[in-house]
Structure 1
């Protein structure tokens, strides 16, 4: 069935004009963007099937090649889908520019969408000014976190270069278990001591998973 064969009140464009954007399902919103379907499936059916298989979150992570494996999605539509999610990502980042950090939850929210590869461990540095606003963030290392491999100079040279008043260290656990390991505690101890000497305070070390986080400060582990 083509879109034009649907009752007018059930077409996405007419529903948008009548009831507003919030009344549309995710499939209908995607259909408005992609516009046309195939001979076998209208675009709403294509979008419903696509979202039922992947969901919005996983769909955002698919590559161009993976998107084109979906029935009814060619190169042009795959690029449209990637463009929509990239615009959303950029808007999220813009809203977080100079974000003021008040808690570990603020750090967790700031890091959403910033991990280039959730299957590997990344160590991030957040440089903060005197108002606890993020000046800049940096990826310091990729791979297993270990006190013998993470040298304070790699972290504090970035903080000094940015004239940071304080820093927050963030890393992810690909397993999803955010409990601090012995290696995490050793790294934090070393960085806390180095920060004290340089008068650049380590405000927190936050471990993030997909849905949760662990804060050294909130667990009174910063000494």
Structure 2
């Protein structure tokens, strides 16, 4: 498996797509194909990174005007990216997924395994344990001073969520939760109890596998 990845990583996105299929490209590589080219001051690799970060932090609710603020993105490219995102929402988004086991969450977050930093993600669920929305709350090393309950639960309240699943990636591949991971989880569980929104699990994931706080009886 890892030999395959090493070979693929040396290919340009279009070559990789032709050889292995679009589903084997990272989010950044898909954006590179959409862009086609960059500029002298913002090569395509750098430009794709900027757009991906903007999409991540906006939780896919992104206007073309915001894209046009990036140096190297004009009306045409901003419109193309915006149109592809809207088309995906209308036609390609799967039906609401019911969460019964920790592994059911992984398809909703697996594209974040390519990120070089930790992404703290909150998945809101309705009373039937169906996914309402997946949101990035914070980027960077998980820290209880940065992950404030109001950031986690404000959107959950707007969604009228019955429960949440927390998730974050470990770029190092080490799935063992840190003390900080445990403290953040404990703090958010306490806040959820007050608000009546239960935290069902906290998933740590990487390329290789995942760690479930619920399966390991930490929560």
Q: TM-score, normalised by structure 1?
A: 0.60
Partner of 2:116: 119
Q: Is the 8 A contact 1:125 1:168 kept in 2?
A: yes
Structure 1 runs (4+) deviating above 2 angstroms are: 54-66, 89-93
Partner of 2:143: 146
Q: Is the 8 A contact 1:51 1:59 kept in 2?
A: no
- Are residues 120 and 201 of structure 1, via their aligned partners in 2, closer, same or farther at CA, if it must alter by over 3 Å? same
Which structure has the larger Rg?
1
Q: In the aligned structure 2, how far is the partner of 1:60 from the partner of 1:125?
A: 19
Equivalent pairs, count: 158
Partner of 1:104: 102
Q: In the aligned structure 1, how far is the partner of 2:110 from the partner of 2:92?
A: 9
Partner of 1:11: none
How large is the Cα RMSD of the aligned pairs? 3.4
Summarize deviations over 1:62-86 as a string: whole Å, max 9, x none. Answer: 32449x9xxxxxxxxxxxxxx9xx7
- Are residues 217 and 60 of structure 1, via their aligned partners in 2, closer, same or farther at CA, if it must alter by over 3 Å? closer
Partner of 1:158: 155
The alpha-carbon deviation at position 55 of structure 1 amounts to 5.3
Q: Within 5 A, what are the aligned runs for 1:1-223?
A: 50-51=15-16, 57-58=24-25, 61-62=28-29, 63=32, 64-65=36-37, 90=88, 94-95=93-94, 97-113=95-111, 115=112, 118-222=115-219
- Are residues 169 and 93 of structure 1, via their aligned partners in 2, closer, same or farther at CA, if it must alter by over 3 Å? farther
Unaligned stretches of 5+ in structure 2? 1-10, 39-43, 45-80
- Are residues 142 and 111 of structure 1, via their aligned partners in 2, closer, same or farther at CA, if it must alter by over 3 Å? same
- Name the SS of the counterpart of 1:112 in structure 2: helix
Q: TM-score, normalised by structure 2?
A: 0.61
